[in-house]
Amino acid sequence: MTNYLLIYRADPAAMAAMPEPTPEQAAEMMDAWNGWAARAGDAIVNFGDPTAAVSPGADPTVGGYSLLKADSYDEIAALLEGHPHTAMGGTIDVYETQPVAGG
């Protein structure tokens, strides 16, 4: 199995311009994320967290991450179909983690 790092990206200006969700909308968003997590199941190594850029030069479009495991990128791509982050207009970068030589 290979680990894949997912980086969730979104335009910070567009995100800031979005109105604050109602409690019902917030619950729907959480339901969508929980539904995706249930579908991904054991592929999730680390569900991840939202992020905020704090160092000089950090990319403000990065808004969170997850770490998944799968036998191939195709499996990851299938898990990302209908992902709640892309449904909200964001994008997801996928990186295959590489083992450290001698480690």
pLDDT in tens, 77-97: 999 999 999 988 899 999 999
pLDDT for 103 equals: 64
For position 69, what pLDDT does the model report? 98
Q: What is the pTM of this model?
A: 0.88
* pLDDT 10s digits, 45-66: 999 999 999 999 999 999 999 9
Longest CA pairwise span in the chain (Å): 51
Length of the chain: 103
Q: Please give the average per-residue pLDDT across 61-80, as a whole number.
A: 97
pLDDT (tens digit per residue) in 1-51: 999 999 999 988 877 777 888 999 989 999 999 999 999 999 999 999 999
Alpha helices in the chain (DSSP H): 12-17, 23-40, 73-80, 84-87
- Terminal Cα-to-Cα distance of the chain (whole angstroms): 17
Cross-strand partners of 79: none
Question: 2-96: what CATH class?
Answer: alpha beta
Q: Is the pLDDT of residue 68 over 70?
A: yes
CA proximity to 18, closest of 48, 63, 58:
63
Please give the C-alpha separations between residue 59 and each of 13, 17, 41, in angstroms, as whole numbers: 13, 19, 29
